[in-house]
A and B are shown apart, each in its own frame.
Chain A
Amino acid sequence: AQSVSQHNHHVILSEAASLELGCNYSYGGTVNLFWYVQYPGQHLQLLLKYFSGDPLVKGIKGFEAEFIKSKFSFNLRKPSVQWSDTAEYFCAIHGGSQGNLIFGKGTKLSVKP
């Protein structure tokens, strides 16, 4: 069965600090990978996605993620966070004939001004 594991439940950073949120998945075949973000009081929004090609994917608002197949990982990074990045971040996968995305439990990011 497919699954997604996000290592950190809650991350607290100061503005300008660098960010890396971990995401590991369990699936032996070809996967498509996603990061979604939920800002306070808002709905889930797509941040970036990986289907094939360059394993380093750039998304909106300066975020990027790197797919490392050998590690079954798709970590999210940002060189310098801002207070406005305070949100909850969800990693998701789609693999094989599964029709739906499978989400991790999420990581809450709090950025102190």
Chain B
Amino acid sequence: GAGVSQSPRYKVTKRGQDVALRCDPISGHVSLYWYRQALGQGPEFLTYFNYEAQQDKSGLPNDRFSAERPEGSISTLTIQRTEQRDSAMYRCASSPKGHLYGYTFGSGTRLTVV
């Protein structure tokens, strides 16, 4: 597509439920990144992929968080047993490969856990 597409735009879920956030990167982009942004803070790195391979997941806060990109295109970030502290804007970005050209960000998914 023309840009990075994230869905849903907004998600309200009850504590304890699982959620899946989707990212559709720009066609042909090798690298895909997930960030989380709390109010008043900058984007905080979660994980990234080159093609289908997860290169770094050191930013995932705990084992409730996981991500996959099985065919090297669309990626899903899954949060199991959500907690209120998981409420944030979740941002996906993609790039042709690596950081040389900067990232193109999607509009984000606003997650609210009640």
Contact = CB atoms under 8 A, between A and B. Distances in A.
A35 to B, nearest CB: 10
A45 B91 CA distance: 12
B33 interface: yes
Interface stretch (A14-22, A66-74, A75-83, A102-110): A102-110
B43 interface: yes
Contacts, number: 55
Contacts of A101: 33, 45, 99, 103
A43 B104 CA distance: 9
Contacts of A102: 45
Nearest to A93: B99
B108 to A, nearest CB: 7
Given A99-B48, A105-B41, A105-B42, A46 B56 contact: no
Interface residues of A, number: 24
Residue of A43, A46, A99, A100 with most chain B CB atoms under a 10 A cut-off? A100
B102 interface: yes
Interface residues of B, number: 25
A25 interface: no
Contact of A99 (B40, B56, B100, B108): B56
Given A44-B43, A90-B42, A105-B41, A99 B55 contact: yes
Contacts of A43: 4, 91, 105-108
Given A32-B99, A46-B103, A106 B91 contact: no
A49 B41 contact: no
B98 interface: yes
Interface in A82-103: 90, 92, 94, 99-103
Given A43-B107, A44-B91, A100 B42 contact: no
Interface in B8-40: 33, 35, 40
Q: Report the 3 A-B pairs with minimum CB-CB distance, sorted nearest first.
A: A103-B42, A46-B102, A44-B105
